[in-house]
């Protein structure tokens, strides 16, 4: 069990650029979650997958955000035309479907939009 | 809708002193409750969780929490704080939704430990 892995750890981008983050869940976990954490706040739910199906998206996930989980393994979160308000820590988590609430988080990707 | 309140934004304690971090939740059904800890620039580590059963829950690193339904609280405690406990602590309530599980977090309590 190598835990949930996120890449990159840090990303600095210019406003208007596109960025993509990757999350590798714990290998047998079929559920994968994305959260966003802004400075001084707790994490907020963005979206989640069961296997390759994206089952729920928060209204926080604007049209500029897209998440995928091809083949039900790793997931990517893309932000198009980044804005300064997108600066945040993006956290990924995974779990087993039968596990109930509560899951293992990765170390996150810190995005800074300048 | 569910919500979590952590009334203390910052708490400072001396090393060796006892600690209690407050958490109040609002949720219409029996909640799933969690405490996570986050060191600077890091992800979240689960300290403990409550699903059902014994209302006093033991976690890692010597932490415990008590679920009090009558007070809608899930306070985190530690009898003797170590300098390495300095971090941010988040309380969360978990709900089942559309077959999945979402966590709603409080805004966190920043713990400072004085040597």
> Which string of DSSP letters, residue by residue, matches A2-63?
---EEE-SEEEE-TT--EEEEEE--TT--EEEEEEE-TTS--EEEEEEETTEEEEE-TTS-T
CB contact under 8 Å between B94 and A105, yes or no, is no
- Report the candidate in A34, A22, A90, A60 with the shortest Cα–Cα distance to residue B102: A34
Task: Give the gap in angstroms from C-alpha A66 to the nearest C-alpha of chain B.
Answer: 19
What pLDDT does residue B97 have? 63
Do the beta carbons of residue B4 and residue B93 sit within 8 Å? yes
Tell me the chain B residues in contact with residue A91 when contact means C-beta distances shorter than 8 Å: 43-44
The pLDDT of residue A103 is above 80: yes
Tell me the chain A residues in contact with residue B36 when contact means C-beta distances shorter than 8 Å: 105
Report pLDDT digits (tens) over B73-105.
Answer: 999 999 999 999 999 999 999 876 665 678 999
Report pLDDT digits (tens) over B14-69.
Answer: 999 999 999 999 987 778 999 999 998 788 999 999 988 889 999 999 999 999 99
Report pLDDT digits (tens) over A49-102.
Answer: 999 999 889 988 889 999 999 988 999 999 999 999 999 999 999 988 777 677
CA A50 to chain centre: 14
Q: Which of A6, A40, A43 sits opposite B105 (nearest CB)?
A: A43
Q: Pairing relation of β-strands A109-113 and A10-13? A: parallel
CB contact under 8 Å between A108 and B36, yes or no, is no
Q: How far apart are CA A55 and CA B96, in angstroms?
A: 13
């Amino acid at each position: 069990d190598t835990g949930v892995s996120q890449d990159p750890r840090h990303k600095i981008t210019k406003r208007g650029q596109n960025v993509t983050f990757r999350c590798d869940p714990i290998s047998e976990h079929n559920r994968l979650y994305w959260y966003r954490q802004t400075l001084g706040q707790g994490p907020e739910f963005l979206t989640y997958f069961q296997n390759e199906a994206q089952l729920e998206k928060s209204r926080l996930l604007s049209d500029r955000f897209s998440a995928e989980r091809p083949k039900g393994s790793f997931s990517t979160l893309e932000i198009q035309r980044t804005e300064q308000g997108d600066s945040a820590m993006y956290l990924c988590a995974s779990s087993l479907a039968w596990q109930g609430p509560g899951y293992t988080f990765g170390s996150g990707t810190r995005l800074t939009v300048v | 809708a569910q919500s979590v309140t952590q009334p203390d934004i910052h708490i400072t304690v001396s090393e060796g002193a006892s600690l209690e971090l407050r958490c109040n939740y609002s949720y219409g059904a029996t909640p799933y409750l969690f405490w996570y800890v986050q060191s600077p620039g890091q992800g979240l580590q689960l300290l403990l969780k409550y699903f059902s059963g014994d209302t006093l829950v033991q976690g890692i690193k010597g932490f415990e929490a008590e679920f009090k339904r009558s007070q809608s609280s899930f306070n985190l405690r530690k009898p003797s704080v170590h300098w390495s406990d300095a971090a941010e602590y988040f309380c969360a309530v978990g709900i089942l939704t559309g077959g999945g599980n979402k966590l709603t977090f409080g805004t966190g309590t920043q713990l400072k430990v004085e040597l």
